[in-house]
Amino acid sequence: MEKITSLCKRRGFIYQGSDIYGGMAGMYDFGPYGVELLNNIKREWWKEHVQNKDNYVGLDSAMFKDPRVWDASGHTSGFSDPLSECKKCNTRIRVDKELGRIGVTADEKMSEVELNALFDEHKSKIKCPKCGATDFTPVRAFNLLVKTNMGDFTGKNETPVYLPGEACQGIYLNFKNVVDTTRMKVPFGIAQIGKAFRNEISPRNFLFRTREFEQADTQYFVRPNENKEAYEKIRQERFAWYVKMGIKAANLRFKQHDNLVFYASDAWDIEYNYPSYGFDEMEGIHDRTDYDLTQHMKHSTVDLNYTDPHTGEKYIPWILETSAGLGRMFLAFISDAYTEDELGGETRTVLKLAPRLAPIKCAVFPLLKNKPELVAKAREVFAMLRTEFMCEFDDNGNVGKRYRRQDEIGTPFCVTIDFDTLGENPDLLNTVTIRDRDTGEQQRMKIEDLTNYIKKAIV
């Protein structure tokens, strides 16, 4: 993981948030290549869940919501992590995680009193991760919602609003709007990619646990009690999508929760085998029953019953949710693609990303930097290709170095303009070499065929 984080920083995928001020815990910025990879992951996810699905539509809801939303969802009361502090060095620990490390399970639904009893029983075996001391403050249920004063002009923070603790709430708020304004009929789904914010006690492991992150969510609305079959299908589809996007199946696994969050009646994670950390949650798939719409109906007093257009039957649909953190997906895609191999007798680092996810699809080089006619032709080819996909022009250093640079960022194709392109060998006029990232093999191709060749390879 150290090599991967170092590559991410060195090559402009990820920067520490507020870097020039010393960095801010749990915050990361996506750099020039990072934002391309992130956007490609989002685009592929959207293609799968909206574009290629008959009964799904997309949504983008406002981040700020009526604060009552978070009362209805259960987040103002039940969305907390158990926090304790080392009395010697004031390091904050997440009690459930520390108990987990010594094999003790703290149930999500435990009260503060119950958590304290459990912690007292076992805390002699727990050491402060920073200073090793064993003296801790009592456990406090620490609410993870991030409060802001948006729209509060009193200056007293009397009416806080919250940043979204989970992105999906916007979907529940718009369920009725979608039913009323589209031809969607139950069963149907709504997909959304949105930001979430959590006051994580100990952000850690690079992009894995941050305080600001994005979630790619689908909520599938079904008739009451018709959840089981659809849930199983959705679970399998989500697993298959990761494999289709190039992740090795051996690095993925399902894990069922035995410790359910307050809204779920069944929950499975898709875990990825992160380097150094091992298998951990990348996506949560939750059977939320009628919890969300029932709660919002109660708190908003708006009737959220769905009326079956054929039978007239009224009911609150049940919901099956998939929720994947984009940061965790990003980390999994990069980790899975990261390869050190040998090519032409040299070791190299290469990101073997699925071409459709690669930040740059094609790099264009003039063989020599100091031959204006080569540079001009390379610029012409570059100008043609960049109208179709993300391309990069590079004339720095020798061609071997340029290949290495592109390998490191996962560029599937490198095109070189040489003297034959200019007609030194008349049979090869207007042809170029195109090199494959994974095999290093080069073939000669007409310039006019490049666009279609690359297009076919990146779908």
Q: Which residues bind ligand GAP (CB under 6 A)?
A: 166, 168, 198, 200, 209-210, 213, 215, 281-284, 321, 323-325, 327-328
∠ Cα 133 134 137 (to 5°) = 110
Q: Smaller CB distance to ligand GAP: residue 85 or 321?
A: 321
Residues sharing a CB contact under 8 Å with residue 176, sequence separation 6 or more, in sequence order: 302, 304
Q: Would you mind telling me the total number of residues written for the chain in this entry? A: 459
Smallest gap from Cβ 119 to ligand GAP, in A, equals 22
Please, how many CA atoms are within 13 Å of residue 233, restricted to the half-sphere of its CB? 8
For the CB of residue 284, give the shortest distance to ligand GAP in the complex, in Å.
Answer: 3
In angstroms, give the least distance from the CB of 270 to ligand GAP: 8
Q: Could you tell me if 247 and 279 are in contact, meaning their C-beta atoms sit under 8 angstroms apart?
A: no
Q: Which is nearer to ligand GAP, 78 or 440 (CB)?
A: 78
**Sole residue written with tokens 């290093």:** 440
When the beta carbons of 212 and 418 are compared against ligand GAP, the nearer one is 212
By beta-carbon proximity to ligand GAP, the closer residue of 328 and 437 is 328
C-beta closer to ligand GAP: residue 171 or 353: 171
Cβ proximity to ligand GAP: between 202 and 442 the closer is 202
CA distance 96 to 406: 43
Q: Least CB distance from residue 16 to ligand GAP, whole Å? A: 15
Minimum Å distance from CB 215 to ligand GAP?
A: 5
Nearest residue to 48 via CA among 215, 251, 40: 40
Strand partners, 189: 56, 220
Q: With respect to ligand GAP, which residue has the nearer C-beta, 197 or 382? A: 197
Nearest-10 Cα torsion for 178, 184, 185, 190 = -70
d(C-alpha 361, C-alpha 40), whole Å: 11
Q: Which is nearer to ligand GAP, 4 or 454 (CB)?
A: 4
Calpha distance 204→25 (Å, rounded): 8
- Between CA 138 and CA 143 the distance in angstroms is 16
Collapsed DSSP state (helix, strand, coil) of residue 255? strand
- Minimum CB separation from ligand GAP for residue 169, in Å? 8
Of 76 and 210, nearer to ligand GAP (C-beta) is: 210
Q: Which residue is nearest to ligand GAP (CB)?
A: 325
CB of 269 to ligand GAP, least distance (A): 6
Helix (H) or strand (E) holding 99: helix 95-101
Q: Which pair of tokens denotes residue 211?
A: 């305080």
Nearer to ligand GAP, 283 or 418 (CB): 283
In this structure, the dihedral spanned by the alpha carbons of residues 15, 17, 23 and 26, taken in order and rounded to 10 degrees, is -110
Shortest CB 92 distance to ligand GAP, Å: 15
Residue by residue, DSSP assigns 284-315 as: EEEEEETHHHHHHHHHH-----EE-TTT--EE
Q: Could you tell me the two tokens for 48?
A: 């799968």
**In Å, what is the CA distance from 352 to each residue of 182, 188, 349, 438, 457?**
41, 36, 10, 7, 14
In angstroms, give the least distance from the CB of 128 to ligand GAP: 22
Q: Nearest distance from residue 325's CB to ligand GAP, in Å?
A: 3
